[in-house]
Amino acid sequence: MALDTMLAILVISLMKEPKVKVKNEVSSTFSDIFKSVITTLKVNPKLIRWMLISQTLITFTSMFYFYYQNEMVQLQSWQISLMMLASCLINIFGVWMASKIGEKWTSRQVFKIIIPISAFLFLLAILANPRIYIFIFLISDGLVAMFFPIYNNDIQQEFESHIRATMLSVNAMIGSLIMIFIFPLMGMIIDYLSFSISFMYLGIFLLLVSIGILKITE
């Protein structure tokens, strides 16, 4: 860690600002950027709808990863460490797969595969089997890790360069607001119904969504 820090400092110290600067560059004001964002959303309402749907359902898909960590108390410490290591490796593999799949498929196409797979995984939670839980934990996390690079790449191409950073911030804000609402709600449902039953019902919901509601993303 110390060596990495020293190397980083050395690299930064060797950096130099470019001497050639673009003259007469007119910076956009906040008002101009805001108007451009509103115009983009009005011209392309399907885009904001896609952002809302994808962020919501991927949040549902990622919840098992977070809430199962409360159930890990039943495992021994070495089992937890091994599982988290496996999760990291699967995440790396998922990102690598995203670089390959993203060349052929759009995020919408990948999305329509991930949601039904996640639905079937969550339906298995009703078995309340520790080994099944670990399987769901690893695979659902890998699916999310694979989806986001493809999604982020596609979503960037939807925006003009001068508002891209702002729209990406809007997209991130949408995801954060959805998580703020959904995660406490799911926590209350788990407290009321139990972990396995709650995720079984979530699996049923995602299965219904994958059959019908996903048509609106076309």
- Residue 115 placed within a domain: yes
Q: CA-to-CA distance for 71 and 78, rounded, in angstroms?
A: 15
CB 190 within 8 A of CB 71: no
- Measure Cα distances from 136 to 20, 43, 57, 125, 213 in Å: 53, 40, 16, 8, 24
Q: In the block, which residue shows the tokens 């950096």?
A: 15
- Residue 20 placed within a domain: no
Provide the mean pLDDT of the chain: 80
- Residue 22 placed within a domain: no
CB 149 within 8 A of CB 99: yes
- Residue 5 placed within a domain: no
Q: CA-to-CA distance for 111 and 103, rounded, in angstroms?
A: 15
- Residue 127 placed within a domain: yes
44 lies in which domain range? Answer: 39-217
* CATH number, residue 134: 1.20.1250.20
Residue 50 has what pLDDT?
85
- Residue 1 placed within a domain: no
Q: Is the pLDDT of residue 6 over 80?
A: no
Per the confidence metrics, is the pTM higher than 0.95? no
Amino acid at 57: L
Residue 36 has what pLDDT?
65
Higher pLDDT, residue 107 or 27: 107
